[in-house]
Amino acid sequence: MPGGSVISFSCVDSSLSSLKNCQSYINTGMDIATNVALDLVESCNDEEEVNSMERVMLEYAAMDRELKHYMQAVQDTVHQIKRDKPEDIPDLKDVVKQKFTALESKNKDSDLQKNEKYMHFMEQLKRMRKQFGLQSDADANEAIEQIDEDIAVTQSQMNFICPITQMEMENPVRNKVCGHTYEKAAILKIIQHREHQKKKASCPKIGCTNLDVKKTDLVQDEVLKRAIDSQNKQSRTML
Ligand SMILES: [Zn+2]
Rounded distance from Cα 211 to ligand 1 centre (Å):
8
Rounded distance from Cα 178 to ligand 1 centre (Å):
4
Which pLDDT belongs to residue 174? 94
Which pLDDT belongs to residue 3? 45
Provide the residue type at 99 as one letter. K
Rounded distance from Cα 177 to ligand 1 centre (Å):
7
Rounded distance from Cα 134 to ligand 1 centre (Å):
27
Rounded distance from Cα 169 to ligand 1 centre (Å):
16
> Domains in the chain and their CATH numbers?
10-118 (no CATH), 147-238 (3.30.40.10)
- Low pLDDT (below 70) residues in the chain: 1-8, 134-158, 238-239
Which pLDDT belongs to residue 234? 79
C-alpha–C-alpha distance, residues 26 and 5, integer Å: 38
Which pLDDT belongs to residue 43? 86
Sheet of 181-183, strands arranged across: 181-183, 172-175, 218-220
Which pLDDT belongs to residue 137? 54
Rounded distance from Cα 182 to ligand 1 centre (Å):
9
Rounded distance from Cα 174 to ligand 1 centre (Å):
9
Which pLDDT belongs to residue 2? 45
Rounded distance from Cα 206 to ligand 1 centre (Å):
8
Residues with CB under 5 A from ligand 1 (ion): 178, 180, 203, 205, 208, 210
Yes or no: say if 83 and 24 are a contact pair by the CB < 8 Å rule: no
Yes or no: say if 30 and 56 are a contact pair by the CB < 8 Å rule: no
Which pLDDT belongs to residue 231? 84
Provide the residue type at 52 as one letter. S
Rounded distance from Cα 221 to ligand 1 centre (Å):
15
Rounded distance from Cα 232 to ligand 1 centre (Å):
26
C-alpha–C-alpha distance, residues 42 and 131, integer Å: 10
Task: Give the 3-state secondary structure of residue 77.
Answer: helix
Which pLDDT belongs to residue 188? 97
Rounded distance from Cα 223 to ligand 1 centre (Å):
18
Which pLDDT belongs to residue 199? 95
Rounded distance from Cα 106 to ligand 1 centre (Å):
38
Q: Exposed (0-12), middle (13-18) or buried (19+): which is 191, by Cβ within 10 Å?
A: middle
Which pLDDT belongs to residue 236? 76
C-alpha–C-alpha distance, residues 62 and 69, integer Å: 11
Rounded distance from Cα 179 to ligand 1 centre (Å):
6
Rounded distance from Cα 176 to ligand 1 centre (Å):
9
